[in-house]
Structure 1
Amino acid sequence: MLDMPGGARAQCHDGSSCRRLAGGRSRGRSGCSGRARLMDTAACGHLPGREKKLLQQCLRRILPACAQTLKNAGAGSDSDTTPAVRGYMNTLSSSQIPFMLVVNHIAAGMTIPTLALEIDISNKESGEEPLLNLKGYFAGNPMTDDRFDTAGKIQFFHGMGVIPNELYEIAKENCRGNYSDPPSASCAESMQAIDILTKDINLSHILAPSCETIWSPRIQQAAARDGASLLTADDSSGDDIQFLFKCRSDSHQLSYIWANDEAVRESLAVRKETKGEWKRCDFDIPYTKDITSTVEHHLSLRKEGYPALIYSGDHDSKFSFVGTQAWIRSFNLSITDDWRPWYVDGQVAGFTRSFSSNLTYATVKGAGHTAPEYKSKDCLAMFARWISGEPL
């Protein structure tokens, strides 16, 4: 999908030029700055040469616009974001960013379809230049609509043998499909019974251990009591090091250490006067939640024919493949390529189905929430094939 130049050189985010190498290296400090080198490394993880080069080109070209978009999106509504994106595009020549590709995971399942549709409407109605040449979007394990997401979670629990048939059937009868907003006391009781059975399960990946994260009250309170910070390497020593790597989610703590390291911040050109401590999840950002479902946003984008890839880690119960397939099914799209496996290195990496209006759906086998955290190689291959317009 990316209209990339055929030469052997690409523009870095700072305007310099760097050579794309198959091994994932750049010219060093005299060439691209740290951000481009990091993207080289991220793009080259065990992919075949063709897919590796494609992803390197894509990430290097799209990263600056993506960063600015996310920065502005976090500060306001999606209607605030479109002018910010357009303003940033004004600083670029058409050869630098040929289009805007919108990507997302998890909770951004609310903001990104809204932003994509806002861009489409703005292009048609405002007449403002430059037009944002939107070419598509993809969404992984996306929060979409509580009705579909919660119903999908209950069906997922039943299908995976987490809740018994009797409880599932009673919940179906009592809730009549409305699990997210129980219509009766009997439905609420059924949902409470399900919550009790699943409270000690890792909802992000039901086969993985359930662990406390750095956000858990126990760890937060312990850190506060000891006068310690959760963001320094000194917080994890001895037995704590084993705990740090016991669960995948525990590795999130390392991102705090890395992202707040002065050398890293300098390499990423983080402006000290505008950005303080980096947080993986900043719960203090003020915003108004006025969108509870993006099903209609997705449907409007389907009517416009924008290419979309929707995928699910098949062991994620939070926003399960069951719920995601249900809201896709509600569009009544015709199937153009029926359910089949897709492969990486000759092994089944998941299953996929393609629909009319340029919609592709895929599962990522063995992955949780989010899929790239568990199956990064497979997800990179999936993305590279999709963005080049090839079947998975």
Structure 2
Amino acid sequence: MDNIISIISFCMLLCFAFIQAAPSGSLVTHLPGFRGVFPSKHHSGYVSIGDKNLFYYFVVSERNPGRDPVVLWLNGGPGCSSFDGFVYEHGPFNFQEGKPKGSLPTLHLNPYSWSKVSNIIYLDSPAGVGFSYSQNTSAYTTGDLQTAADTHAFLLKWFGLYPEFVSNPFYIAGESYAGIYVPTLGSEVVKGIKVGAKPTINFKGYMVGNGVTDPFFDGNALVPFAHGMALISDDIFQAAEIACGGDYSNSSQICEEKLEDVSEAIAGVNIYDILEPCYHDPTSQQGPEGNTSLPDSFKQLGVTSRPLAVRTRMFGRAWPFRAPVKDGIVPLWPQLAQSQKSYVPCVNDEVATRWLNDVMVRKAIHAEPEDVAGPWVLCTDRISYYHDAGSMIQYHKNLTAGGYRALIFSGDHDMCVPYTGSQAWTKALGYKTVTPWRSWTSRDQISGYLQGYEHDITFLTIKGAGHTVPEYKPLEALDFYRRWLDGKPI
């Protein structure tokens, strides 16, 4: 008995030391709108990279902080805040619209938070996005390569502030334009490891969801997707195919004319999920009650109920369909909203905007006030961003050939970055298939399909999910995320 007590006491001392190692002043002790007890520690604050102040929110794992992976989460845009992921996708809370309208939302624990199985950092990047800012406005002109370098510098400083996590497996994850952020950052991390940058990051791999990758594959994804989903007729599809010679990034006049027919046919469809209406009806947000078929793995994590239906959010978080972007300056979402004929205001961001611009919320999470960092908006127009890294194909080849794991996942009803492009480029890497196309299940139901390749790269679809997979399919997303991080078959 004395030995058992000694062991317990020792473990408690280790746990206490582990918790106390975080930098002073970073601990989040309360959040307006939430009245419960945090299931794990939360930290937030700024890391300065030269004259750039990058804001992060760090959620410690609810399972085993000392052993669980550290995952950096990046939303896309470029120019969109990673609080998108925190508020609407896989953060520790579900946000319920405040009553009366305009009041602060009420926060409830999210049973499908990715912090159930990982330590997760939500980073606003680059400077000028979300709460990240600079007093030098020239810092708001940036691009793929500079953003990757800045984020790598952030990570080195962050792990210096949280040395207790340096030995944990580290993964980079993101969605949409983070299909550029993730592999370019991964490349920077690998370079840093090779030259002995300290602290040594225990980088293991990366995840990309519905990610921008390559102008040829991305540009040729939408038309076959729209045809396969019965959004355009055989006649429209065949006319476009003939006019464009099978390459829909073809800039010929006749090709453009036929693509206008495609655009006209799909006008009014929610590009983020073709199954969802544009501007969600608030009365349709209630999900089914109860769940009698949750797997034991979820019950062990404290998950006891089904997810609610997709939450409302704004139009604009990702590379748009048919955006005029190759190598060069990238039009940001507020600009595209004004210029794109196909603009469809399908969803809104009122809950996040109301909460994150509240003075007490900003104080609680250690974000600078509005007169310093500016107002929080989901997708900003105050940066000028250059897509200067080119295609991501070679980045993926280098990382996977170097022994880093990769999961490329795709909501199969997203028309913004359709699965057809992601499936095509993963196959085009030329790797041998080691897991032939098959279904994967969650709750004993088919939840999507996957194909595995050598060098530990997996392409995975999520059945019925839109552009932001965890928002549409939170339970299934946590399921494949947990299994992949734990090195178990999906």
Q: Which TM class, normalised by the smaller chain length?
A: 0.7 to 0.9
Q: 119, 137, 140: which one pairs with 2:189?
A: 119
Give a deviation string over 1:194-250, Cα, whole Å, max 9, x none: 11111221111112223498679xxxxxxxxxxxxxxxxxxxxxxxxxxxxxx9953
Q: Kindly provide the amino acid, as one letter, of the partner of residue 180 in structure 1.
A: S
Greater strand fraction, Structure 1 or Structure 2: 2
Selected match of 1:258 from 340, 352, 355: 355
**Residue matched to 1:169:** 238
Question: Who is 2:275 aligned against?
Answer: 207
Give the C-alpha shift of residue 100 in structure 1. 3.4
Equivalent residue runs for 1:243-322 within 5 Å: 250-272=347-369, 274-322=372-420
Preserved CA contact (<8 Å) 1:311 1:363? yes
Contact kept? 2:448, 2:463, Cα under 8 Å? yes
Alignment of structure 1 residues 94-173 onto 2, 5 Å = 94-95=164-165, 98-124=168-194, 126-173=195-242
Rounded to whole Å, the distance in 2 between the matches of 1:210 and 1:17 is 39
1:303-342 matches, cutoff 5 A: 303-342=401-440
Answering whether residue 255 of structure 2 is matched by residue 187 of structure 1, we say: yes
Corresponding residue of 1:196: 264
Instruction: For structure 2, list consecutive stretches of 5 or more residues without a partner in the other structure.
Output: 1-10, 29-35, 45-56, 61-85, 95-107, 133-139, 281-312, 317-343
**Is the 8 Å Cα contact of residues 137 and 307 (structure 1) preserved in structure 2?**
yes
Could you tell me the TM-score, scaled by structure 2's length? 0.62
Measure how far apart 1:153 and its partner are. 0.8
Shift of 1:289: 2.4
Structure 1 residue 55: Cα displacement: 3.8
Cα distance in structure 2, aligned partners of 1:84 and 1:201: 39
Q: Distance in 2 between matches of 1:104 and 1:265?
A: 24
| Cα distance in 2, alignment partners of residues 92 and 211 from structure 1 | 41
Deviation at 1:72, TM superposition (A): 8.9
Shift of 1:319: 0.9
TM-score, normalisation: structure 1: 0.76
Higher normalized helix content (fraction of residues)? 1
**How far apart are the structure 1 equivalents of 2:42 and 2:270?**
41
RMSD: 3.5
Q: Write the deviation string for residues 3-30 of structure 1: whole angstroms up to 9, x where unpaired.
A: xx99877637556999xxxxx94479xx
Work out whether 1:376 is the aligned partner of 2:474: yes
Contact 1:123 1:131 (8 Å CA) reproduced: yes
Distance 2:242 2:415 in 1: 22
Q: Tell me the residue number matched to 1:67.
A: 123
- Asked if residue 84 in structure 1 is aligned to residue 154 in structure 2, the reply is yes
CA contact (8 A) 1:299 1:331 kept: yes
**Structure-1 residue corresponding to 2:80:** none
Counterpart code for 1:186: I
User: What CA deviation, in whole Å up to 9, does each residue of 1:90-116 have, x standing for no partner?
Assistant: 333254563432111111111221111
Instruction: Tell me if 1:58 matches 2:58.
Output: no
Q: Is the 8 A contact 2:167 2:201 kept in 1?
A: no
Q: CA deviation at 1:292?
A: 3.6
Query: Given the superposition, is the C-alpha separation of residues 118 and 165 from structure 1 closer, same or farther in structure 2, using an over 3 Å criterion?
Result: same
Alignment coverage as a number of residue pairs:
340
